[in-house]
Structure 1
Amino acid sequence: MSPHDFAVRVYYEDTDMAGIVYYANYLRYIERARSAWVRDLGIDQNAMRERDGIVFAVRRVEADYLMPAKFDDALTVRTVTRAITGARLVMAQEVLREGEVLFRAEVTVVCLTLSGHPVRLPDAVRRRVH
């Protein structure tokens, strides 16, 4: 599967007193990018929840902060599928500024029932992200 790119602009509210993006905001950026990627694949998360009683949940994040992003930077969040199993989806995500990698994460996503029990990834999801 080809990479999915998502544009992000750094706003003042994203930064600390030094004008550098606060570390937790990178997690927000990559979450927005994953949501856009899923939507672009044609997966309706609201319908999945209402029809099937299944939601996505982040199980694990391993992150590396390499370079700071700053106020008003135009960033790109790149998402690539690394692995798909019956129960989980592993993605590599990078935040870039003009091609330079500022932040890198590996994210493991699983599906849960509305009561919080793990379930297999739906076949339709596995087919679309492959």
Structure 2
Amino acid sequence: MTHRFALRVYYEDTDLAGIVYYANYLKFIERARSEWVRDLGVDQTRLKAERGIVFAVRRVEADYLLPARFDDLLEVETDLAQITPARLILDQRVLRGETVLFSARVTLVALGEAGRPVRLPTELCELAAPR
């Protein structure tokens, strides 16, 4: 199931040319991932407080296709590509209307209190798994 997250491009998101600075796309997709996890019903603050688990980006493969500009209304689509006990792989796209401006494949892992990889929380795997 595709998760959708709407956002608007603000002046602070742009560079001198008036287009979205390339690193800000990573912020956009991060916000969308946080909302995706929240919408699944996972409370990341509680997960960290009670079990010492946080999520970290392990890998990002990104394609910058077309520029977004100041005041554009964008939508970030997030789809689960793969889930294992050790990682989540998500496909994310930033669109303006029907036009894809940016796409990325993001690999997420869970880290424990010592900063070392741990298994993904079972409840996340169950909630995220395709039905």
Q: TM-score with structure 1 length normalisation?
A: 0.98
Aligned residue pairs: how many?
A: 129
Alignment partner of 1:23: what SS?
coil
Superposed counterparts of 1:92-103, under 5 Å: 92-103=91-102
Q: Percent identity?
A: 62
The alpha-carbon deviation at position 115 of structure 1 amounts to: 1.4
Cα distance in 2 for residues equivalent to 1:129 and 1:39: 11
User: Match for residue 118 of structure 1?
Assistant: 117
The alpha-carbon deviation at position 7 of structure 1 amounts to: 0.3
CA RMSD of aligned residues (A): 0.5
Superposed counterparts of 1:6-21, under 5 Å: 6-21=5-20
User: Match for residue 76 of structure 2?
Assistant: 77
Cα distance in 2 for residues equivalent to 1:45 and 1:118: 16
Cα distance in 1 for residues equivalent to 2:54 and 2:21: 28
Amino acid in the other structure paired with 1:118: P
1:64-86 Cα shifts (integer Å, max 9, x gaps): 00000000000000000000011
Alignment partner of 2:102: what SS?
strand
Cα distance in 2 for residues equivalent to 1:120 and 1:113: 9
Q: Tell me if 1:22 matches 2:21.
A: yes
1:27-86 Cα shifts (integer Å, max 9, x gaps): 000000000110111100011001111110000000000000000000000000000011
User: Match for residue 51 of structure 1?
Assistant: 50
Amino acid in the other structure paired with 2:69: K
Amino acid in the other structure paired with 1:107: V
Gaps of 5+ in 2: none
User: Match for residue 88 of structure 2?
Assistant: 89
Q: TM-score with structure 2 length normalisation?
A: 0.97
Amino acid in the other structure paired with 1:63: A
